[in-house]
Structure 1
Amino acid sequence: MKSFYQTFGFYLFLLLLSLKTAVAQSKDYYPDEKWRVSAPEAQGINSKKINDFISLLRAGRIQKPITSFAIVKNGYLVVDETFGNYNGNTPHTLQSVTKSITATLVGVAIEQGFIQSTEQKIISFFPEYSSIANMDNHKRDLDLEDALTMRTGQAWTGESHLDALNRYPGDRMKYVLDYKMETSPGKKWYYNSGIAILLGGLLQNASGMYTQEFAQKYLFDPMQISSANWRWSHRGIPHTGGGLFLKPKDMAKIGYLYLRNGNWKGKQLLPEWWVKKATTRHVTYTEDIAGISQLSYGYMWWLMSLDKKARNQVSTEIFMAYGHWGQFIFIIPRYDMVVVFTNSSSASYAEELKPISLLFDYVLPAVEG
């Protein structure tokens, strides 16, 4: 009997050791141009549940405008599905997912020494403007962290302002800098695409490089992302509020960078403290989105709870990049998982938000049991 227990204990030890080794190896893995691939079941995902979900998507029964759906778990691409006329081989519009990547580029600029800290004043990056309209102490106090958390103090009270900015034929950087202040920075939150667009000019001035070249050299090239394509905003500056296009599998790489605390193949692309700050609650968003009445906001990343029963509680267990028409990157550290959805421009507002419900109602149950 003693021999049996000794043998059983030995094999149990080997099993636990192999599992520990497998987890450690997954943490050390980084994709090259392509991801390694695994069956869902091998990474702890219920294959039947996830395949049933994909069948519903393909039949158009729960989300008609969807163009792609991908899951990376433990460093393996376990789901890679495309729908309709989209095959995943061309860059897809990200819309405001671009903002989360723009914020990421600010962190990269800090890691590279082009920006010293998030306490630097915004106007200090734009010495070319000797005269800025509506200048007051509030505007002088506006710093990079205020911009990243969209607590600028500007009276940017609706995205109709973005339409006006996108149509503006003149200098769009100055348009945003000139914008009237409503209150002191750091107090009031308004969703502000203008400030995200301004960060494109800020990155160019700080680095001395075209923003798209900076992004390619210091973020995309190290991650072997060659699909990046930009829509332009003004004077050769890309539209950093919503103009980036990436392939869905490259969107997953952005999420994976955050799962690995800003490290890529042993090189720190983002400061580790930056990842923590970017995914920490700075603002509580009180309006209802897809049945969630309390989201949080970090550095241009949305944050929410993993527990469906506690979806109305402020939490930061899921990091979410969200763009118009239903473009999403979900980062879920507890499961070492990134989930990507993209949708076509035909999506209604209700359809645009549907991937949040799909995550909770179909994807997470396939992981949890």
Structure 2
Amino acid sequence: MLKGLPLIFLLLLSFGTRAEQWPAEQWPSGPVMTGPALQALEQYAFAPRNDSTRQGIRTDALLVIRDGQLIYERYAGSTTAETPHLTWSISKSLMATVLGVAYGEGLCKLQDPVQKFYPPLKKYPTMTLADLLHWASGIDWQEDYEYAPLKSSVVAMLYTRGRADMGAFTVDHDSYAAPGQAFRYSSGDTNLLSAALKTMVGPNRYADYPWAALFEPLGIRRAVWETDATGTFIASSYAYLTARDLARVGLLMARDGRWGDRQLLPKDWVAFNREPFAHYRANQDAAVPGGHWWLNRAVDGAAQPWPDAPADTFAALGHWGQAMYVIPSENLVIVRYGDDRDGSYRHNELLKLALKTFVAEVQP
């Protein structure tokens, strides 16, 4: 049927239908990038820093996947390709992904009342899983960190009064709004999801569930996830993955929840993750909350938070500069680990430089 077609057409057809690249034990390698654009990216990401004062940007790892291939990787300090790095609040997006597998098993629905899975929440009978995934529980939570420790709910949860049972500590807060009506970023909301997952999957499966449901199917070998004293995963903060392993989660999300020939996450779950919370009101310089992921979307008349990146960019973000950016339109996943203490790191700047390096530079 193809006999007689011009050679150039056959070559283009072959290129357009080439097999997808997926990582096996190792990532397949792509073309090595060089040139001024890469130098500018590295000058930003790996600029010299005064570690005695902790001023400036400190990148521990920067890794780029395009079309399922590893095309850039660099580490600094004690971090290597084998190091499970603390992800901080990237853990929240990981929990959302684990929950997506449970959702695909039919163990929960987005509009299920959370008290169905975590009875201490009976004082909030209308709160749903979707509310928690939007950080919209209505619980009066203060997500302040080391800069305001005396009023910080999250510092108390992780290090003092709440560390033995983080779900119970969160429930013990008062409310400030009806569930589902207002966004307020909350590590407590995420740990309630983690507590609810225990009932969804049952106590016999729970301790191994992130591995059996997500990590092992993706080929992730070095994940660590800490628990509180009740054995509940600290989903807000304490998952550790290598940069290469975290990129596998990014590729899964970039390809709408599919891993090879298996639809590991239902497409409607991924679509929910990537849809802005309807009641969110934009704040300047803030990414837009989706379903426990962060979106580069214009909402409520406000421009995209990262104007130099495509509008379909979404991310998992963590304290002190941890970031995984997923850009489906460019078949791009970027993992960046760091230790930024002074607030000088800018998502948009790294994205702008990375896109110039790994997208613009390879255009014909």
TM-score, normalised with respect to structure 2? 0.85
The residue type equivalent to 1:273 in the other structure is D
Separation (CA, whole Å) in 2 of partners of 1:354 and 1:52 = 15
The residue type equivalent to 1:93 in the other structure is L
Q: Alpha carbons of 1:157 and 1:64: their partners in 2 closer, same or farther (altered >3 Å)?
A: closer
Number of the residue aligned with 1:319 = 314
Equivalence map 1:270-309=2 (5 Å): 270-283=265-278, 284=280, 286-289=282-285, 295-305=287-297
Separation (CA, whole Å) in 2 of partners of 1:213 and 1:106 = 13
1:51 positional shift: 4.4
Q: Alpha carbons of 1:111 and 1:349: their partners in 2 closer, same or farther (altered >3 Å)?
A: farther
Separation (CA, whole Å) in 2 of partners of 1:313 and 1:324 = 18
Separation (CA, whole Å) in 1 of partners of 2:112 and 2:193 = 13
| 8 A Cα contact 1:63 1:354, kept in partner | no
Separation (CA, whole Å) in 1 of partners of 2:105 and 2:59 = 37
Equivalence map 1:102-181=2 (5 Å): 102-115=95-108, 117-127=109-119, 129=120, 135=123, 139-159=124-144, 160-166=152-158, 167-168=160-161, 170-181=164-175
Number of the residue aligned with 1:199 = 193
Q: Alpha carbons of 1:20 and 1:281: their partners in 2 closer, same or farther (altered >3 Å)?
A: same
* Aligned match for 2:180, one of 186, 189, 203: 186
Partner of 2:79: helix, strand, or coil?
Answer: coil
1:89 aligned onto 2:85:
no
Q: Alpha carbons of 1:91 and 1:185: their partners in 2 closer, same or farther (altered >3 Å)?
A: same
Map Cα deviations across residues 138-161 of structure 1 (whole Å, 9 max, x no partner): x11000000000111111243311
Aligned Cα root-mean-square deviation (Å) = 2.6
Q: Alpha carbons of 1:184 and 1:197: their partners in 2 closer, same or farther (altered >3 Å)?
A: same
Q: Alpha carbons of 1:174 and 1:52: their partners in 2 closer, same or farther (altered >3 Å)?
A: closer
The residue type equivalent to 1:171 in the other structure is D
| 8 A Cα contact 2:276 2:289, kept in partner | yes
Q: Alpha carbons of 1:278 and 1:56: their partners in 2 closer, same or farther (altered >3 Å)?
A: closer
- More moved, 52-61 vs 321-330: 52-61
The residue type equivalent to 1:155 in the other structure is D
Map Cα deviations across residues 1-29 of structure 1 (whole Å, 9 max, x no partner): xxxxxx9x81321232122023xx12xx3
Number of the residue aligned with 1:238 = 233
Separation (CA, whole Å) in 1 of partners of 2:306 and 2:59 = 29
| 8 A Cα contact 1:296 1:316, kept in partner | no
| 8 A Cα contact 2:312 2:328, kept in partner | yes
| 8 A Cα contact 1:201 1:211, kept in partner | no
1:350 positional shift: 1.4
**Aligned pairs, number:** 336
Separation (CA, whole Å) in 1 of partners of 2:46 and 2:306 = 33
Separation (CA, whole Å) in 2 of partners of 1:177 and 1:305 = 31
| 8 A Cα contact 2:320 2:341, kept in partner | yes
Separation (CA, whole Å) in 1 of partners of 2:305 and 2:314 = 16
The residue type equivalent to 2:250 in the other structure is G
The residue type equivalent to 1:83 in the other structure is A
1:349 positional shift: 4.0
Number of the residue aligned with 2:52 = none
Runs of 5+ consecutive residues of structure 1 not aligned to the other structure: 1-6
Number of the residue aligned with 1:329 = 324
The residue type equivalent to 1:194 in the other structure is G
1:112 positional shift: 1.8
1:252 positional shift: 0.6
Number of the residue aligned with 2:222 = 227
Map Cα deviations across residues 207-246 of structure 1 (whole Å, 9 max, x no partner): 0145441000010001110111022223112210011000
* Aligned match for 1:79, one of 72, 80, 86: 72
Q: Alpha carbons of 1:82 and 1:140: their partners in 2 closer, same or farther (altered >3 Å)?
A: same
The residue type equivalent to 1:246 in the other structure is L
* Aligned match for 1:37, one of 14, 21, 29: 29
| 8 A Cα contact 1:211 1:238, kept in partner | no
The residue type equivalent to 1:119 in the other structure is Q
Number of the residue aligned with 1:249 = 244
Map Cα deviations across residues 73-130 of structure 1 (whole Å, 9 max, x no partner): 0010000111122212120000000001111111111112222x11110111124x4x
1:64 positional shift: 3.9
Runs of 5+ consecutive residues of structure 2 not aligned to the other structure: 50-54, 145-151
Separation (CA, whole Å) in 2 of partners of 1:244 and 1:101 = 8
Map Cα deviations across residues 48-90 of structure 1 (whole Å, 9 max, x no partner): 4224423554453896411010100001000011112221212
1:13 aligned onto 2:9:
yes
Separation (CA, whole Å) in 2 of partners of 1:210 and 1:311 = 41
1:282 positional shift: 1.3
